[in-house]
Structure 1
């Protein structure tokens, strides 16, 4: 029977596929398809891992002392029995033979299937045997991962790209941004999570992957079963489980229509973004990894307005990238942009983008109760000057290869301004002493907290340009955790305070003769394009996939005709309603003149 699950739409489009359920403790299991000729070797790899775990358990039984509790020996016997169970082994092999899953994925898929069966058992003793199954499966997956090229025994491997015959979608309680980054170019056509908000970093990365996604779907991971056919409607925030043939065909038609629309918009790729009244607008790209640079150029971006450098630091088992590795990554982006400007944001770690546990324990020594308000972004960098110096030197070295702008996140105190600029100057001096070539960089600051917006005149004295991070600015202005679906309805970009801070920052920065850009989610949301143009914004930075739709909106806008209505909306109680009504009147007037 078909079931509907509702959540928050965070990445548009339609995805149709088989559900791959990933419990939170299994999120790092490698997921990739194998070729047909690899089925035999993969099954042999699975058997070899099973045999190795069996030998380890047998050795443990031989090593136990005479005073070892009998229950421990019995537990080992249970685990050995599970490993030797031919029905279990056959079911796991079936995932490899029929779906072409890799061995780790096959074990995790079968575990999820059996876990549901154990949960439904009436006998309490039998239900508790689920823990034994999980322990055996974990040991087996770790053994497989330790002897593969797809990860180590602790991380359990990344998601890698391969083509398969069966489309799959990911269903989980939650997915960290670091894990989401591993899905770039991967096998999943979409994803659903129980938790999350529209502007959580997980949602942002989903949009950057340009795949349909629904978050905050509450009980999705408990309602959906492994291998269910599901539809993800990223426009409506709807997940349909076990759809009827009629519904399935309807959504397949919508998929085809969506692709036709993307193809049509792609034709605007090399057309300049100029409004109907001749206003030139700069469209830049947000990227997470050096490999994203090519997509930005291909999409017609006029540069990179935000390179989120923190993703170079994630999924590394606690080993931070050294200066040479960072330099090469930044250099590759600068060269790929072929002379176009590249804005590199210094590491923005914290909140919902932590490093892995090893790095946190080594570098922070504690766990913050409220990471969004704690040691993050520039605070984190200034607290670890050695790490910060390494990054600054790498960025300055990369600047010799092209136009580089250095962006400092989440500054809110004059002391932080002085400390950050001092560190940049010290990095220059250290490179001079070492005789290492480097280039000039423009230095900018992100406006992400109300304090920064309110002390903008001080920022404009010290920085060359301003970038508005609307995601955090909204979060901190309204005291709303943007990753918490329980307060998602209160996260409102149209709030008078938010619009007032954004508009005043744009207008004051331009009045001072300096550049201002928005790199938050508002920049890539067509609902806000005209409003932002009307209050003076002329530089937008977004994911490359969003560029065509925003460019189309700019090409159809007469900015001067909308400016009076924007001014009214900024002083009203309900900016959204005032803007919507005035926009309709303005467009009607333009149509009459035409």
Structure 2
């Protein structure tokens, strides 16, 4: 097949080489991992056994039908038996396991997706509706398969270093909740048609330290299943079906990058101290308690942002209970062994909706999201606050409130925290009565009204992703305007510097927990602004630490002042380059 190149937006550095996996929503509902050669036939048998089990179930249903049951019920079961016996269901997924090394669940869903697409093209409405029957039969088989899975990823967890899956996700788009499906490391790169520098696909790709390119427009249509793909994450380029020469060149570059990353690992236990002896705090951003292990491994001094909304997503209409939330928060607090854990209250809306919440706002990014949603749903908010407070009895916890802009929002939030405390006192439940409360500075109005915040709050955390989005009036998920999104716009830099300065003057901590904190190219700029607390994904910690260790604060601060005085993009870029070369 002819080679071709696509150009998009570079969002996560590095090079990835692998086979394309075209993603459809149904595939996300099951586990996906690659099966090593020696386990292929065992996996084939697992699917065959599941199909045989469903045959028995259907037979039992037939024999148990009451005598007065409608004849349609029997016919319905007969149709399902026929579908289950069809080679397209009973044989084709087995071929997928053998040829692509997919696990049984994934192979079945992949086949069902292909069949469903064929049924969608049928003109006859009756035959087209039979797609639902096929999906129902597949669901029965999946239930049996899921019951036989002993671990989350039984095969994947047993693999050694010599078996490294090299599969690249190609999709139109991937939602934040769906991105959680890729945390196991089954994939080595992401390519999406849409998205920008700070879309959630981009953020998660960077956090997983996986090369990615977004805003590719037609990638999911042009790239075919199992095509060889190279992602050049540094350039935002995707090469499909490369020549052998190009493949060898990129493999050589990839090997050099792997070597450089191994070198960084030596900095894990080195304190983050500048050349002139100033200690910098490096914290981790996490989505789930399980991320704490990676944070500790990379030498994080605490959790600067626990995105609690990921506990609420992908659950249908079922909200996590207070006890369930408490257990998750407690797990993170205990895992961090006395280090601080900043838990951000529920931040949903815009590109992170909950399944049971209607999304009818004309512009969700400007609608009922984050603290606005929480204040409109006081029982949900109180439940979460009680769970967080209960976890504070087990270690150092701080509460972070997102998207505050008005004094009354701050006051109502603080009042609800006091109400949650009173409820726990009445129940004689322990918590930290002196727990610190912080505000996210991510709306320009908040950055321009800082006295209102420093007067009421114990600490501030700058959410640069939304701050840039709202300051520049750019939807960070929209690839058509993504090229206009930049952290180096003079207005953005001024708002960040103002916030850091106001916090310093008031004697309260200020952190940056947005993507800027994890971008090593911007580390010295933030240091020069006076930032002393960075929070990022664990995978970014060592690169940022390396920049800190090589920085002289006095020289960095002087060069940063030049950048802050400039309003011209070219001059800012040139001064930033000089800052990097120091």
* Aligned residue pair count: 566
Query: Secondary structure of the residue that 2:352 maps to in structure 1?
Result: coil
1:435 is the counterpart of 2:425: no
The equivalent of 2:331 in structure 1 is 332
Query: Offset at 1:142?
Result: 2.1
Mark the CA change 1:76 to 1:147 in structure 2 (over 3 Å): closer, same or farther: closer
The equivalent of 1:95 in structure 2 is 96
Asked whether the 8 Å contact 1:507–1:536 carries over to 2, the reply is yes
CA–CA distance in structure 1, aligned partners of residues 417 and 155 of structure 2: 39
CA–CA distance in structure 2, aligned partners of residues 151 and 199 of structure 1: 39
Deviations 1:23-44 (A, max 9, x none): 2455424423454423212223
CA–CA distance in structure 1, aligned partners of residues 201 and 575 of structure 2: 35
The equivalent of 1:70 in structure 2 is none
Query: Offset at 1:47?
Result: 5.2
The equivalent of 1:145 in structure 2 is 142
CA–CA distance in structure 2, aligned partners of residues 222 and 196 of structure 1: 16
Asked whether the 8 Å contact 2:119–2:131 carries over to 1, the reply is no
The equivalent of 1:199 in structure 2 is 198
CA–CA distance in structure 2, aligned partners of residues 101 and 581 of structure 1: 49
The equivalent of 1:28 in structure 2 is 29
The equivalent of 2:47 in structure 1 is 42
CA–CA distance in structure 2, aligned partners of residues 160 and 474 of structure 1: 42
Query: Secondary structure of the residue that 2:267 maps to in structure 1?
Result: coil
Asked whether the 8 Å contact 1:24–1:174 carries over to 2, the reply is no
TM-score by length of 1: 0.87
The equivalent of 1:347 in structure 2 is 346
The equivalent of 1:566 in structure 2 is 560
Query: Offset at 1:430?
Result: 1.0
Query: Offset at 1:113?
Result: 5.7
1:456 is the counterpart of 2:450: yes
CA–CA distance in structure 2, aligned partners of residues 499 and 160 of structure 1: 48
Structure 2: gaps spanning 5 or more residues: none
Q: 2:504 aligns with which of 504, 507, 510?
A: 510
The equivalent of 1:475 in structure 2 is 469
Query: Secondary structure of the residue that 2:454 maps to in structure 1?
Result: helix
The equivalent of 1:69 in structure 2 is none
Structure 1: gaps spanning 5 or more residues: 67-72
CA–CA distance in structure 1, aligned partners of residues 118 and 145 of structure 2: 30
TM-score by length of 2: 0.88
CA–CA distance in structure 2, aligned partners of residues 549 and 336 of structure 1: 24
The equivalent of 2:267 in structure 1 is 268
Q: 1:393 aligns with which of 386, 389, 407?
A: 386
CA–CA distance in structure 1, aligned partners of residues 155 and 363 of structure 2: 35
Query: Secondary structure of the residue that 2:348 maps to in structure 1?
Result: coil
Q: 2:524 aligns with which of 527, 530, 546?
A: 530
Deviations 1:404-445 (A, max 9, x none): 111000001111011000001111111111111111311100
The equivalent of 1:300 in structure 2 is 299
CA–CA distance in structure 2, aligned partners of residues 587 and 476 of structure 1: 28
Aligned pairs for 1:123-138 within 5 A:
131=128, 134-135=131-132, 137-138=134-135
Query: Offset at 1:476?
Result: 0.6
1:323 is the counterpart of 2:322: yes
Deviations 1:267-319 (A, max 9, x none): 11111112222222111110110000111111011111111111111122322
Mark the CA change 1:333 to 1:88 in structure 2 (over 3 Å): closer, same or farther: closer
Query: Offset at 1:187?
Result: 1.8
CA–CA distance in structure 1, aligned partners of residues 7 and 69 of structure 2: 53
CA–CA distance in structure 2, aligned partners of residues 340 and 278 of structure 1: 22
Mark the CA change 1:449 to 1:269 in structure 2 (over 3 Å): closer, same or farther: same
- Larger displacement relative to structure 2 (82-91 or 306-315): 82-91
CA–CA distance in structure 1, aligned partners of residues 236 and 484 of structure 2: 17
CA–CA distance in structure 1, aligned partners of residues 258 and 561 of structure 2: 37
The equivalent of 2:111 in structure 1 is 110
Mark the CA change 1:55 to 1:491 in structure 2 (over 3 Å): closer, same or farther: farther
Query: Secondary structure of the residue that 1:149 maps to in structure 2?
Result: helix
Asked whether the 8 Å contact 1:412–1:449 carries over to 2, the reply is yes
Asked whether the 8 Å contact 2:27–2:106 carries over to 1, the reply is no
CA–CA distance in structure 1, aligned partners of residues 154 and 192 of structure 2: 20
CA–CA distance in structure 2, aligned partners of residues 586 and 185 of structure 1: 37
- Larger displacement relative to structure 2 (36-45 or 577-586): 577-586
Asked whether the 8 Å contact 2:194–2:479 carries over to 1, the reply is yes
Query: Offset at 1:104?
Result: 3.3
Provide the aligned C-alpha RMSD in A. 3.3
CA–CA distance in structure 1, aligned partners of residues 276 and 137 of structure 2: 65
Asked whether the 8 Å contact 1:31–1:160 carries over to 2, the reply is no
Asked whether the 8 Å contact 1:151–1:158 carries over to 2, the reply is no
Asked whether the 8 Å contact 1:523–1:540 carries over to 2, the reply is yes
Mark the CA change 1:41 to 1:539 in structure 2 (over 3 Å): closer, same or farther: same
Moved over 4 A (4+): 47-59, 62-66, 75-85, 111-119, 124-137, 157-161, 163-166, 583-588
Asked whether the 8 Å contact 2:48–2:90 carries over to 1, the reply is no
Aligned pairs for 1:180-195 within 5 A:
180-195=179-194
